[in-house]
Structure 1
Amino acid sequence: MFYSHQYKSLRFPIQCVWLKLNGSWPLSPTSTEKRSEPFFGKSFFATAYTIWAWYVIASVGITISYQTAFLIKNLSDIIITTENCCTTFMGVLNFVRLIHLRLNQQKFRELIKHFYYEVWIPDSSKNNVAAECRKRMITFSIMTALLSCLIIMYCVMPLVEIVFGPELDPQDRPFPYKMVFPYNANKSWISYVLTYIFTSYAGICVVTTLFAEDSLFGFFITYTCGQFQLLHERIDKLFTEHNENDEQMQLERLKGIVQKQNNIIRFANRLEDFFNPILLVNLLISSVLICMVGFQIITGKNMFIGDYVKFIIYISSAISQLYVLCENGDALIKQSTLTAQILYSCQWEVPARIQPHSRKSTGKDNIRNHLWFMILCSQQPVRITAFKFSTLSLQSFTAILSTSMSYFTLLRSVYIDDEKKHG
């Protein structure tokens, strides 16, 4: 049913299971494109899956609208506003992600196909690069653990407050997030429980989509960097294996290297084309999120200890999520530009190999021309951008943190002035 089942050796990160549960994973083309299937055949499951996907999107959108209503209602209170903005903005970010994934199923399938045939390094290859790629994916497991703790705390803490806290008025029973409903959600236990489950699962979909899609994005970039490393190994061996005077053999091997480099670059361009709308929204919202969570930690008064822990986990996960993405983008830039250095150092200039004045120098001239062209192309780094507005790199990470600090300083000065007026 799900696309990529035919790629037996392809192992996606375990986090991608959540993309399937949330309705974001593309189905096999035969499930959605063949109209000859009976209704109770594959097309029935595809239709049910599509309905479920839109239900998840709708539930997230409805929950965000409840949070936005609360935000508008309490806009004059800077503490409540900043606290509510944290969950609302994260919901908006992943609401955009869910819609983007749902509307680009065909591009998603093509990206997986291109990855499998040109970039994936199977575990059966048993080389150091494949092992290093698997090791780099551990950072996404850490990020997943942080975000999982965050959503668990949001969903569980209100229940802990009800059970172990002071007795509450039925109309004041808490929900996972601050919300205003168009109906009385506390009218009865049934309406409270159903609303609680509905909004909690929407939050779970938000967080799981966040770490699942980021893990998939990091997975693609990690193995793209791995392919650049394998390419560098092939370049190093270009003039050291086989007969060094066998010009035709060297030329054929060099053409294969050129073709492989072009395939890797094409995949990176397709990867950027698919993810750059999401990355743009992510970078724009991240600076605001980090600022507001930090503001809550610094200025929060009479805050329950669980809320402090929640916000510390929140800011830790937000910063780590941003860092991991930017670090992977930076690694891709470094590996792609390193290709030019590797090409220049592959001993192409040894006279026994390149003899421009020889009568039979046609093959050597071709080799040298190919090398020059590859060096020229490799000087232009392969990079992932956020809709061309910003490049995913460690420089972008520091710039976003700097922007967050500027927002925090401004927000804190406004808060202090407001306190003085009411003091």
Structure 2
Amino acid sequence: MASPTLELAKREIDESLKLSTSCMFLIGFSLKTPADPSTALRIKIVFVATIIGVSLHALSELAFLCVTIANSPRVEYVAPLLHTVGYGILSICKISALFSKRNVFARLLNDLRTIWPVYTNEETQNIKSRSLRALRIAHLSYFALNESGVLFYIITPVVLYLFNVLRGQEYHIRTVWRSWYPFDIYSSILLHTVIYIFEIFSGQSCVWAMICSDLLFSGMASHIVLILEVLQKRLQLLGCAVKSDTENYQDIVDCVKLHQKLIRYCNDLEDAFSFVNLINIFLSSVNICCVVFVIVLLEPLMAMSNKLFFAASVIQIGVICWYGENIIHANANVAQAAYDSKWYNLNPKCRRSLAFLIQRSQKPIAFTAMKFTNISLVTYSAILTRSYSYFALLYTMYSEN
């Protein structure tokens, strides 16, 4: 039977990741064992449907892109297709990462409960409350932005149809996405309706996959930063209270063990998301530059949908880089917190142990993109700069045409 401390830690962690867990449920994925066989069967059916829908969606968009390049390889025809294709590919990568690393994520959540700050002093409790509140606001904002973006894409064909009907013009409802199908989808109303529903489902599944993966990553990263900040406060209090040498040494040992657990936790999380982060960094520049190109030059009717896509793309990669930057600084601040303690009141044995902790904290821990680069705000700046360079290239090609 779990202790009350672990139960409380589990509730607080589950509450902080509630939005991510809800989106996982919508795509038929769960890090927990289903309660009964019927629930397990239902989850598997939804997950298989999601995999099929997202895969067909990405392949049909990729096929349409290839057909367009073969028939009309002009920048104004190709560029509007790249960002949605990139989003679909990224969604598939994130679903694959969630599925292949399911046991890793479940273990990380269990490990997190053992080091979660539960019964703490007022100052530490304020740190935890502030961190959880900021994480909740960030998750809600990210969810709302992505959901509003896909909603605008879905309703745009219907709005255009109603607009033209009210003007007395004949107009057929188009598809949500620019996809290629090996048959004429307008041959019957039933077939057109089925395709329209399929595109709504597949597009929405892509967004849910993106949201649950990003919120899981950002939530776990935020919790690492939170516990590192708690560790900093514990280190700053060393030597302040009147304690025996044994008690002071035990406090330092506890801090060292906690720091080692956080390093392992961060490394495991980095390994789970490393490949996805590499694809994310590579595709983000292309997605941002192409959607900006479309907004500025090509499609005013889709402006709201594309603007929301642009905002979601910028924030999505920005959130990952933000938490990557926080990890780097939080770990570096552990060394500073140890130095700011009353270490001169401790005996030589305690000072040596504290020196080892400082030395280890000066070695950076960071999320990477398959070890090619650290995920930080410097990376974010490079992505935006590269996006602008790509946009300038597209603009030059478009102007020449």
- TM-score, normalization: structure 1? 0.86
- Segment of structure 1 superposing worse, 176-185 or 373-382: 176-185
Classify the secondary structure of the residue corresponding to 2:388.
Answer: helix
Q: What CA distance in whole angstroms lies between the structure 2 residues aligned with 1:341 and 1:124?
A: 21
- Residue of structure 2 in register with 1:95 after alignment: 92
AA aligned to 1:63 is H
Which structure dedicates a bigger proportion of its chain to helix?
2
- How far does residue 110 in structure 1 lie from its aligned partner after superposition? 1.1
Give the RMSD, CA atoms, in angstroms.
2.2
Say whether residues 1:338 and 2:321 are aligned partners.
no
AA aligned to 2:187 is K
* CA deviation profile, 1:272-327 (whole Å, cap 9, x unmatched): 11111211111110010011011112221xx344x112222211111111112111
Runs (5+) with no aligned partner, structure 2 = 1-6
* CA deviation profile, 1:187-227 (whole Å, cap 9, x unmatched): 22211111111111111011122122211211111111110
- Residue of structure 1 in register with 2:104 after alignment: 107
Cα pair 2:25 2:43 within 8 Å, conserved = no
Cα pair 1:57 1:99 within 8 Å, conserved = no
- Segment of structure 1 superposing worse, 187-196 or 133-142: 133-142
- Residue of structure 2 in register with 1:294 after alignment: 292
AA aligned to 1:64 is A
- How far does residue 124 in structure 1 lie from its aligned partner after superposition? 11
- How far does residue 91 in structure 1 lie from its aligned partner after superposition? 0.6
- How far does residue 365 in structure 1 lie from its aligned partner after superposition? 2.5
Of residues 71, 75, 83, the one that matches 1:78 is 75
Q: 1:252 to 1:94 in 2, by over 3 A?
A: same
- Residue of structure 2 in register with 1:314 after alignment: 309
The alignment of Structure 1 onto Structure 2 pairs a total of residues equal to 385
- How far does residue 85 in structure 1 lie from its aligned partner after superposition? 1.2
* CA deviation profile, 1:98-123 (whole Å, cap 9, x unmatched): 12212222222112212222246589
Cα pair 1:123 1:130 within 8 Å, conserved = no
Classify the secondary structure of the residue corresponding to 1:74.
Answer: helix
AA aligned to 1:225 is V
Q: Percent identity?
A: 22
- TM-score, normalization: structure 2? 0.90
Cα pair 2:23 2:211 within 8 Å, conserved = no
AA aligned to 1:181 is Y
- Residue of structure 2 in register with 1:384 after alignment: 367
Q: What CA distance in whole angstroms lies between the structure 2 residues aligned with 1:178 and 1:122?
A: 54
Of residues 54, 60, 71, the one that matches 1:66 is 60
- Residue of structure 2 in register with 1:359 after alignment: none
Q: What CA distance in whole angstroms lies between the structure 2 residues aligned with 1:142 and 1:46?
A: 31
* CA deviation profile, 1:236-258 (whole Å, cap 9, x unmatched): 11111233xx2111011111111
Of residues 371, 380, 398, the one that matches 1:397 is 380
Q: What CA distance in whole angstroms lies between the structure 2 residues aligned with 1:124 and 1:200?
A: 49
Classify the secondary structure of the residue corresponding to 1:146.
Answer: helix
Q: What CA distance in whole angstroms lies between the structure 1 residues aligned with 2:10 and 2:236?
A: 31
Classify the secondary structure of the residue corresponding to 1:388.
Answer: coil
Runs (5+) with no aligned partner, structure 1 = 32-40, 355-363
Q: 1:268 to 1:241 in 2, by over 3 A?
A: same
Cα pair 2:139 2:215 within 8 Å, conserved = yes
Say whether residues 1:284 and 2:287 are aligned partners.
no
AA aligned to 2:77 is I
- Residue of structure 2 in register with 1:271 after alignment: 269
Say whether residues 1:42 and 2:33 are aligned partners.
no
Cα pair 1:332 1:382 within 8 Å, conserved = yes
- Residue of structure 1 in register with 2:29 after alignment: 24
Higher Cα radius of gyration = 1
Q: 1:123 to 1:195 in 2, by over 3 A?
A: farther
- Residue of structure 2 in register with 1:415 after alignment: 398
AA aligned to 2:164 is G
